Amino acid sequence: MTDLASKRALVVGVGGLGSPAAIALASAGVGTLGLADDDTVDVTNLHRQILFTDEDVGRDKLDAAVLGLRRWVPGSYEVVPHRTRLLPHNARDLVRGYDVVVEGSDNFATKFMVADACALERVAVVHGSAVRWHGTALAVGAQGKPCYRCLFEDIPHEHAPNCAEAGVLGPVVGVVGALQVDLALALLSGLDAEGTLVTFDGKTGACRRRKVAARADCDLCGLRRIETLEMSRYVAAACDVAIN
């Protein structure tokens, strides 16, 4: 049996996905939880970001998240706050210290940055997203193949609304966050979860699980594999997200 108390998990984005994911990871017995975010709590967050209460509105999100996590899951686990987004200058250093990354960011630039950094550092990652009634979770093993870019080759050229713009149902992000942790625990336990894609339809309750295949021409894990983060096509986009 895997000793989860010795494992380290980094949650990127303590929002609608990251909040339930952090709670589930702590409840499962993961010994060290890193939380990465640079935002403050807004009243519009409260219907889906379950670590926070009315009293947290306006507070630093990480400070509130650490207290909220302790309220939900008392215990001896360690919480490590990282008061930043993952950016070109820090992404590899942040993910390097963890066994698995649970990614719940709200923009494509950060998602691609996390994918690249984890692939280069040989760290397993579970990507998640949820908009309106639908959500997905994708598990990528430490070997980095198949990867996020095997499914999503590039940042959308047209505007792709996030959950703040298009809306999202609170229960949907809760389910997707739980699915991410299920995949993360499988990766930590050495189970065959690499390349598993799970989709959830909040209208019907349908949850579908399938394996995806790696693309030979993938820029991240295929024949044209990047060798440094600076080669990533998403570096400039990630910097722009942080500035804006």
Residue spans per domain, the chain: 4-243
Q: Are 80 and 34 in contact (CB under 8 A)?
A: yes
Tell me whether strands 8-12 and 100-103 are parallel, antiparallel or unpaired. parallel
Task: Tell me the C-alpha distance between 11 and 17, whole Å.
Answer: 9
Give, rounded to a whole angstrom, the gap between the first and last alpha carbons of the chain. 45
Q: Are 49 and 24 in contact (CB under 8 A)?
A: no
Q: Are 99 and 6 in contact (CB under 8 A)?
A: no
Q: How far is CA 106 from CA 103, 206, 212, 222, in A?
A: 9, 23, 23, 26
Q: Give SS3 for 9.
A: strand
Q: Which residues are catalytic?
A: 163
Phi, psi (deg, nearest 5) at residue 211: -95, 140
Pick the CATH number of 4-243 from 3.40.50.720, 3.30.70.3270, 3.40.50.300, 3.40.50.2000: 3.40.50.720
Phi, psi (deg, nearest 5) at residue 41: -80, 130
Phi, psi (deg, nearest 5) at residue 228: -140, 155
Query: pLDDT (tens digit, 0 to 9) for every residue of the chain, 244 residues total?
Result: 579 999 999 999 999 999 999 999 999 999 999 999 999 999 999 989 999 999 999 999 999 999 999 999 998 999 999 999 888 889 999 999 999 999 999 888 899 999 999 999 999 999 999 988 899 999 999 998 999 999 887 665 555 555 556 567 788 999 999 999 999 999 999 999 999 999 999 999 999 999 999 999 888 888 766 666 654 555 545 555 543 3
Task: Tell me the C-alpha distance between 49 and 45, whole Å.
Answer: 6
Strand partners for 120: none
H-state helical runs in 87-196: 91-96, 108-121, 148-151, 163-166, 170-188
